[in-house]
Amino acid sequence: MRECDIIFLCVLPSQASEMLKEIRPIALDRLYQAKKNKSLSKPLIVSTLAATRMPKLKLMLNDESVIMRTQIDVPHVREYLSRTDNNVPE
């Protein structure tokens, strides 16, 4: 994970705290390394966590984290999976 430029947070909100405890030291180290080495970028954290706002995410990670929130269109995914019998295209 230390080499990741983008980290996707795709867990239930109830699991976020525990998962972010594991990610936080790695993200902090990467931020520190990016400050020292301009060829490294800060990791981009893409969150799909429902009901978890940006201030809370920054609190769980750090203020310097680059975080982007996005939403999964659950009804669309559900409809797609039911239409394809839960088969993922190859």
Tell me what the mean pLDDT of segment 39-57 comes to: 86
The band of 89, judged by pLDDT with boundaries at 50, 70 and 90, is: low
pTM: 0.71
Measured from the Cβ of residue 16, the count of other Cβ atoms closer than 10 Å reads: 20
pLDDT digit string, tens, across residues 58-74: 888 888 888 998 887 87
